[in-house]
Structure 1
Amino acid sequence: MKRHIIYSAAIAVTLLFNSCATNPVTGKRDVSFVSEGQELAMGQEADPQIVAQYGLVQNPTLQKFIQEKGQQMAAVSHRPNLKYEFKIVDSPILNAFAVPGGYVYFTRGIMAHFNNEAQFAGVLGHEIGHITARHSAQQQTKAIITQGVLLGGMIAFPDLAQFGDLAGQGASLLFLKFGRDDERQSDELGVEYSTKIGYNAHEMADFFQTLARQGQQAGQGEIPEWQSTHPNPTNRYSTVHQLADQWQQKVTGSQFAVNRDSYLRMIDGLVYGEDPKQGFVENSIFYHPELKFQFPIPANWQYQNTPQQVQMAPKDGKALMFLRLAQGTSLEAAAQQMVQANQLQVIESKQVTVNGLPALALIGQQTPPQDQQQTQQQQAPIQALSYFIQYGGNIYNLTGVTAATDFNTYFPSFSNTMQNFRQLTDPEKINRKPEVVSIKKVTRDATLSQALKSFNMPDKRLEELAILNGMTLTAKVSAGTLIKVLERR
């Protein structure tokens, strides 16, 4: 027995040794079960899913800017051999993220909140740092060692993940969350890389304050997506300032740029918040101006709108409802495709009309196979109410999903939303213009609050605009200073 244990231990040590790879950043040997080729394959698979889920911002000037700066920074990074791609996704959330293999994404929400090129460069370096330090590979290796899942990501509604692809798993599985040590290392690399291409990394530290303030304004101490699992903002602020001093001493003879005005002029006209043409919510009703439909969202439910679907859920996460385009040339074919794809047993199905539109309604149930090793809670059947509605040359599928034991509780909410799907005819909603970032020049010395009011910004949005400008409302702004306001264009 003792020899067997020693022999097994020797095999384990050998496997671990053979799985070691030199970390490009530290130069040390790390245990890794993920090869560079696998990283590349992961990124290539993830990219089209991310683009499909969010869409890209069509702004050639901004896209050229991030591509040029990204390639410049990649060249001074620890993995210059990778083929990097840099994209702006069409989401109002403040977020930047990277996936293995060299893919880096910024949301238009975070681009709107940068106030100079140096802030952008610091975050760009942070995300490239996740790639160069192979943080995704390390996280997955740890998961394999602990017999966890290979891709431990965010599923919006984990209680319903077993309901096929209806839980909206998609590309969200690919957004790995890193530990605080990884985040600190990426902060260090962000300072290093941005300094090496000539930017003032002190501005990166200042942007952390914008993130913290935005989170506080969101309520209940909510943290912006990009900042979740990151080190304490106050400590992070101080550490990055110290690192910026150190790297500026190393890179002697350089001028460290901020480039505030040039950046602000680039984002003039950038859509801010929800883009109405993609759908928007007002008074708990979802409106889609381009497709000309509307439906109510249950009271106190959260929602997420993407180009592929609208998802809604109560805060307890015990139910999920979504709308998306159905597959099929008829109501019956669309319903059959959904039933087969999700292995549903149809309990009831009938032809109906919804506000004059032809529709098909069905109730179905999904029971996981008995041979699957699942918890008792996961073995509970999932029950769904689905409406397939024919309108405007499309078939729309509204589906509500919950545990069979909770179905009667959520049925009224599901049914009310589905039966109130209707044509949108209100010209004001159809022609709603998006809010955009508009760059204005201050005409006289004033506080930021006074300057914003001079451009007719409402009092209730002054703090939001102060955060957007990376200033306090009492900050002094001189005549000729560029600031951000919001307009509808």
Structure 2
Amino acid sequence: MTQRFLPALLSASLLLAGCATNPVTGKKEVMLVSEGQELAMGKESDPAVVAQFGLYQDQKLQQYINTMGDRMGAISHRPELNYQFRIVDSPVINAFAVPGGYVYFTRGIMANFNNEAQFAGVLGHEIGHVTARHSAKQQTTAILSQVGLMGAMIASPRLAQFGEQAMQGLQLLTLKFSRDDENQADELGVEYSTKIGYNAAEMADFFRTLEREQQQAGGQAIPDFLSTHPNPADRYTHVNQLAAQWKQKPGTPQTLEVNRDKYLRLIDGITYGADPRQGFVENNAFYHPELKFQFPIPQGWKSQNSPQQFQMADPAGKALMMLTLAPGNSPQEAAQAVAKQLNLQVAESRQLTVNGFPALAFVGTQVQQDPQTGQQVAGVQVLTYLIQDGKTIYALLGASSPQDFAAYVPVFTRTMEGFQRLTDASKLNRQPEHVRIRTAKAGQTLAQNLAANGIPEKRYEEMAILNGMELSDKLGRGMLFKVVGK
């Protein structure tokens, strides 16, 4: 699109959208997205979110988040919305919302809350993004992008375009909110959690946990809710001030709940960290105990696993690989489907056997449309192996630019022809860790209680952060605390 068309397009969009009243502020605002479009975006994004992470299967925990969410939605500024709440199967500490009332919590963040009030505050924050229509306001700068590392890792525009098309099933709407939006969501989190009877100061304390998690990760940025705009220390102070103000307002319950023990008992047994049953990387190889296969990963390549696919990227940003499922009853049918989905012109193909599995390999060039001329041009080159295991067909794809493709073919081939049956019992039987709730002995510190429960000293600080405590904190008789084990 040429630059001269942009002002006209923007003006037309503004005229079509018109002004809308913000449900939270009551002020008129120009919105490029109508409420109907907002609801539609959420409905369309939800399957992609679920596909990206998978749902965490815990009926009791899901019922809890539904009940709390419904209570809070009813007193929010948009009670008419049909809010949907999901716990997704990710170890990352994160919570996020997409337009239209879809709110997601990872099992990672659920494991790190230490009471109901902390959860309620974050729940209010995410519902606040929805009620204040932050996503609609930010839509002009939003993009539909994959949640993962590929977008940031692959520098080549051609490869990025390939990745976008190849990963359509994993795309979802992600929005970067402004400092003002984040502050407003914090304010609404305090308001909503207080209104349903919880002590919002606990939300401020959770910011300390997030800050410690970030420091333990070496200062690496943590997604969405841990955003550093504004920084956690400022947010801690601001939320504490807001919580104190709300306690003084007429109609605020005399006693605000924290409910530590109730929450800890609720999450007893929750999966902690990465779940190896869904696949794991070890010693430059990917293992999948449930599906019983393995294959090598090129030395130094970065990787990310999700329920729908496994991704690998060259650190130089010149190539990517992925494994995913392919449709069809045979490698030949799967090859036709993959070539059609990715707009690949197939140059050569051959049937082969990969470690006893029937397979088909082909090389294709992705056909793209030139945005200036509208003509079709050659894009990235792709090597694809379709490998059949019973009724399941796996697609292993490797892509790079035409000028680099020949150099990467041996790397792609070694990985793809390294696909084989997993038989190692130590890998097949790998189990995830779980949060276990224990009862403290009187007069002992957290460190002493961790030692008494067999926690290795190298994990003490990790457990202290998980409990929202210091190792030197004294635990009273009967006090509950978290440990981690199989």
Whether these two folds match at TM > 0.5 is: yes
Offset at 1:132? Answer: 0.3
Residue from 419, 422, 431 that aligns with 2:420: 422
CA shift at 1:398, angstroms? 0.6
Counterpart for residue 30 of structure 1? 29
In the TM superposition, 1:435-454 aligns within 5 A as 435-454=433-452
Name the SS for the 2:394 alignment partner: strand
8 Å CA contact retained: 2:467, 2:482: yes
The answer to whether 1:486 aligns with 2:484 is yes
- CA distance in 2 between counterparts of 1:379 and 1:441 reads 66
Match of 1:276 in 2: 276
Once the two structures are superposed, residues 347-389 of structure 1 have per-residue CA deviations (whole angstroms, 9 ceiling, x without a partner) of: 3322222222222222221242235569xxx977311111111
Cα distance in 2 for residues equivalent to 1:181 and 1:49: 28
Q: Distance in 2 between matches of 1:44 and 1:227?
A: 25
Q: In the alignment, what sits opposite 1:344?
A: 344
Letter in structure 2 aligned against 1:219? G
CA distance in 2, matches of 1:422, 1:205: 49
Instruction: Report the secondary structure of 2:172's partner residue.
Output: helix
Amino acid at match of 1:96: A
What is the rounded CA distance, in whole Å, between the counterparts of 1:475 and 1:353 in structure 2?
A: 60
8 Å CA contact 2:142–2:174 kept in 1: the answer is no
Give 1:22 shift: 0.7
Structure 2 distance, partners of 1:14, 1:156, is 32
Counterpart residue identity of residue 323, structure 1: L
Summarize the Cα distance change of 1:220–1:203 in structure 2 as closer, same or farther, 3 Å threshold.
closer
In structure 1, the partner of 2:214 is: 215
Q: Contact 2:144 / 2:171 at 8 angstroms: preserved in 1?
A: no
Identity %: 60
Matched residues in 2 for 1:165 and 1:337: separation?
17
CA distance in 1, matches of 2:316, 2:19: 43
Q: Which residue of 1 aligns with 2:392?
A: 394
Deviation at 1:426, TM superposition (A): 1.5
CA contact (8 A) 2:31 2:137 kept: yes
SS of structure 1 residue aligned to 2:369: coil
In the alignment, is the contact (CA less than 8 A) between 1:157 and 1:167 conserved in 2?
A: no
User: In the alignment, what sits opposite 1:3?
Assistant: none
CA contact (8 A) 2:269 2:434 kept: yes
Give SS of 1:300's match: coil
CA–CA separation in structure 1 for the residues paired with 2:477 and 2:308? 45
Q: Distance in 2 between matches of 1:13 and 1:417?
A: 50
Contact kept, 8 Å, 1:155 with 1:173, in 2: the verdict is: no
Q: C-alpha deviations, 1:161-192, integer Å up to 9, x for none?
A: 32275542445431222112111110010011
- Equivalent residue, structure 1, for 2:233: 234
Partners of 1:395 and 1:152 in 2: CA distance: 26
- The 1:14/1:111 distance shift into structure 2, 3 A limit, reads closer
Name the structure 1 match of 2:154. none
CA 385–114 in structure 1, closer or farther in 2 if over 3 Å, else same: same
Q: Report deviation, 1:97.
A: 0.8
Q: Is the 8 A contact 1:215 1:224 kept in 2?
A: no
- Alignment correspondent of 1:157: 150
The residue number in structure 1 matching 2:67 is 68
| 8 Å contact from structure 2 (residues 147, 171) kept in 1 | yes
| 1:382-403 superposed Cα distances (whole Å, 9 cap, x missing partner) | 1111111112331111111122
CA-CA distance at 1:157 after TM superposition: 2.8
Q: SS of the residue aligned with 2:339?
A: helix
Q: CA deviation at 1:247?
A: 0.8
1:227-268: CA deviation from partner (whole Å, max 9, x where unpaired): 235311111111111111111111444211111111010001
Deviations 1:275-333 (A, max 9, x none): 22211222232111111111122233222222211112234443221111111111112
Change (3 A) 1:220 1:194: closer
Structure 1 position 463 matched with structure 2 position 456: no
The alpha carbon displacement at 1:76 in A equals 1.1
Structure 1 residue matching 2:347: 3-state secondary structure: strand
Q: Which residue of 1 aligns with 2:201?
A: 202
CA distance in 1, matches of 2:17, 2:99: 22
Could you tell me whether the CA contact under 8 Å between 2:145 and 2:171 is conserved in 1?
no
Counterpart of 1:299? 299
Q: Which residue of 2 aligns with 1:79?
A: 78
Question: In structure 2, what residue type is equivalent to 1:114?
Answer: F
- Describe the shift of the 1:391–1:454 C-alpha distance in structure 2 as closer, same or farther (beyond 3 A): same
Matched residue SS, 1:451: helix
Is the contact made by 1:153 and 1:177 (CA closer than 8 Å) also made in structure 2?
no
C-alpha distance in 2 between matches for 1:334 and 1:14: 41
Task: Label 1:423 to 1:166 Cα distance change in 2 as closer, same or farther (>3 A).
Answer: farther
| Helix, strand or coil at the partner of 1:244 | helix
The alignment partner of 1:184 has SS state of helix
Quote the Cα distance in structure 2 between the aligned partners of 1:179 and 1:115.
28
Contact 1:152 1:176 in 2 (8 A): no
CA contact 2:146–2:164 (8 Å) conserved in 1: no
- The one-letter amino acid paired with 1:157 is M
- Alignment correspondent of 1:5: none
Please tell me whether the aligned partners of residues 462 and 473 of structure 1 are also in contact (alpha carbons under 8 angstroms): yes
1:186-197 correspondence to structure 2 within 5 Å: 186-197=185-196
Report if aligned partners of 1:161, 1:169 keep a CA contact under 8 Å in 2. Answer: no
Amino acid at match of 2:150: F
Shift of 1:39: 1.3
Q: Tell me by how many angstroms 1:455 deviates.
A: 0.7
| Alignment pair present for 1:384 and 2:382 | yes
Provide the rounded CA distance (Å) in 2 between the counterparts of 1:13 and 1:380.
34
Provide the residue aligned with 2:475 in structure 1.
477
Change (3 A) 1:219 1:137: same
Give how far 1:444 is off. 3.2
TM-score in terms of structure 2 length: 0.91
What is the number of equivalent residue pairs in this alignment?
A: 471
| Conserved? CA contact 1:268–1:439, under 8 Å | yes
Any conservation in 2 of the 1:268–1:437 contact (CA below 8 Å)? yes
Equivalent-residue separation in structure 2 for 1:78 and 1:398 (angstroms):
47
**Corresponding position of 2:4:** none
Change (3 A) 1:328 1:439: same
Q: What corresponds to 1:288 in structure 2? A: 288
Aligned AA (2:303)? Y
Residue 412 of structure 1: how far off its partner (Å)? 3.4
